[in-house]
Amino acid sequence: MKPERIQKIISNYGQFSRRQVEDFIVKGLVKVNGETATLGDKATIDDAITVKGNRITFKTRHDYYVLNKPKGYICAREDKMGRTAVSLIDNPQKRNLFTIGRLDVGTTGLIIITSDGELANRINSPSSKIKKTYLVWVNTLISKADQIKLQKGVTLANGYTTQPLAGFKPLSFGDNESSFKMVLTEGKQNQIKKMFQALDSEVINLKRVQIGQMKIDSLPTGQYAKYTKEKLFQLLGIT
């Protein structure tokens, strides 16, 4: 087996992100065959790799789920109140599942849950450009000028200007409410909410209905579907 960077091997295992592993390496908490690792070191899954004294047991098989996340659940590995999205998955093999990306506690819709750290790295990479479609309800009427800003890119409070939208469609307008379909190819934390905050509006409901070619369709809230790696990669446009 061809040696790879240690942080890639460990993140593929699924327990830690690549950034976390790099931090562990810098702190001297990662060892390969008894020797303290440094950034840039390479290894294979046949080596004895430990993190904070615990040996990594590599799994060659991963699970892939798509969940229609309900409100009230968080995209984290652990929660004292038992509100993790992962807890909704029946996981008899006790694989180390985690969500790819995050939907905040009040946001509903599609979220991918897996044990495949390499897939997470590929989807989360800025170069992936995987389209994610949302239905958004806000508490104000959005002017034509602001709709154009949303489509072309909005400068957020932190100074970041969002990428142009891959799709935008007004859905409804009421006395004090508007709704839209928005298609993003990036996923900054709470991005859609921050985009509307920059326009002095507040998102009152947010639902992700599509990732790549994978649609929410008739998947009930709180339910999930299991996918093969091949089918999931096909729907995401990953080769």
Residues catalogued as catalytic: 104
Type of residue found at 75: C
What is the DSSP code string of 17-70? -HHHHHHHHHTT-EEETTEEP-TT-EE-TTS-EEETTEE----S---EEEEEEP
* Residue 78: half-sphere exposure toward Cβ, Cα within 13 Å: 2
Q: What is the dihedral of CA 53, 54, 60, 61, to 10 degrees?
A: -140
At 229 the three-state DSSP class reads helix
